[in-house]
Amino acid sequence: MRVRVPPASMAFTLLLSFLVALPSFGIDMSLPALTVMGAALHVAPARAGLMMSLFMLGFAVAPLFYGPASDRYGRKPVVVFACALFIIAGIGCALARSLPTLLTWRVVQGAGAGASMTIALAIIRDLFEGQAARTRLSYVAIATMIVPMIAPSAGAALLALGGWRLIQAVLAGVGLLLLLAISIGFAESARIDPANRLVPSVIARNYLRVLTHPLCLGYILVNAAAFGTLFAYVSGSSLFLINVEGMRPDQYGLVFAATSLGIMAGALLNGRLSAWGVAPDYPLTIGLLVAAAAAMALLTMTLAGWMPLALVISLLVLANFAFGLIAPNAMQGAMQPLPQIAGAAGAATGSIQMMTGAVVSGLVAMLYDEHSALSMTALMAVCSLVALLSYLLLARPAERVVVPS
């Protein structure tokens, strides 16, 4: 097995980061153009907003097919196929003349982006063990947090330069760059088992193995619930800070950047702790406790009607810092036990994470009362407690038992 870019190199980590960041390009670069796109296609901006929902639909469902396919045929062919889908869909979006056509291509574009986390997790599991895997996951998390911070500004600049169709054309170009980088930089990392047939019964059996393996299930739930805490903040913070507290959009952008830096700081610290040989249960436990404490403090303040902005923002940054400690360790814990079906494990981890985020963000919007942060802080508290309990009651006890894989 040969990898053209050495796995231990920073170039390899950046290549994985590029792969994982693809969905952020697809989502965040398009955000500034929703109103303009609606006007150009003669529909209301709210209907144009469906392009985000349908992108997420393709992004959430496609990994369930990519994971087993990568176990059978290899990681590289699946990534090449997914990048080709992303490129074709970007061109289709750029040429769309009606909303139904645009929405159809956005589903395909989301499906193309859907290989990102699933295959990156599988590649890391193929090539790295223990501390090395945790370190790579931390550094990938750091790099991919940069994209959501710059992509909306890049999208706005492209919108001013050439309109919304230019944004979609540039997304196709991003997909092409990734396709070339993968083709040149990666060799196959999977140990392919010809007996692992790609038929429904085998796929179902592999997913059942993942979801009934105590370690896998425990860490999948920890990761999904922690992601739910993050998405409760992402979906509810603008509702509260802009609509209730009267914060200007540019001020809110600074708050969002600060919380993103919090995640990066947590992931960077986790990477350094891993490199120093610190066992993963220490940063994971600290992260879960900090996230639960910050979320519960925010909920208590909300119920008391006392929400000083400086303290609220500090607690939000702290909760996001905790996510940076939690996510790399939880994902690595979910991927570790079943290396021979790492694609299926990565797909289950990614899909359950995204479905949890979608459900939580929908609940935050549905329960928003227009005068408080209750829907955001309540769901942050619930999700952070579920993450902590999933670790204490499922994942940690399973660590003490050797489970056949």
Q: What is the 3-class SS of 66-101, one letter each residue?
A: HHHHHHHHCHHHHHHHHHHHHHHHHHHHHHCCCHHH
E strand or H helix at 214: helix 214-238
Q: Residue ranges of the domains in the chain?
A: 10-198, 209-399
206/353 Cα distance (integer angstroms): 18
pLDDT at 357: 83
CATH 1.20.1250.20 for domain 10-198? yes
Indicate whether this model's pTM tops 0.85.
no
The rounded mean pLDDT for the chain is 87
| Mean pLDDT, residues 267-295 | 93
300/319 Cα distance (integer angstroms): 15
- Report the topology of domain 209-399: Growth Hormone; Chain: A; (1.20.1250)
Largest pairwise CA distance in the chain: 61
Q: Which residue has the higher pLDDT, 388 or 128?
A: 388
User: What confidence tier does 208 reach under pLDDT thresholds 50, 70, 90?
Assistant: very high
The angle that helices 63-73 and 50-61 make with each other, rounded to 10 degrees, is 30
Q: Which residue has the higher pLDDT, 78 or 34?
A: 78
pLDDT at 405: 47
Q: Taking the C-alpha atoms of 47, 51, 54 and 55 in order, what is their torsion angle to the nearest 10 degrees?
A: -170
| Portion of the chain with pLDDT greater than 70, in percent | 95
- The answer to whether 211 and 337 are in contact (CB under 8 A) is no
pLDDT at 404: 47
> pLDDT tens-digit profile of 356-394?
887 888 888 788 888 899 999 999 999 999 999 999 999
3-state SS assignment for residue 186: coil
Task: Report whether pLDDT(147) > 90.
Answer: no
Range 196-216 burial, b when 16+ CB lie within 10 A, else e: beeeeebbeebbebbeebebb
pLDDT at 188: 83
Neighbouring residues of 61: CB distance < 8 A, sequence distance ≥ 6 = 111, 114, 351
> pLDDT tens-digit profile of 7-65?
888 888 889 988 988 988 888 788 777 778 888 888 876 576 677 778 878 888 888 88
Tell me whether the CATH fold assigned to 10-198 matches the one assigned to 209-399.
Answer: yes
Neighbouring residues of 88: CB distance < 8 A, sequence distance ≥ 6 = 108, 112, 172
Task: Report whether pLDDT(237) > 60.
Answer: yes
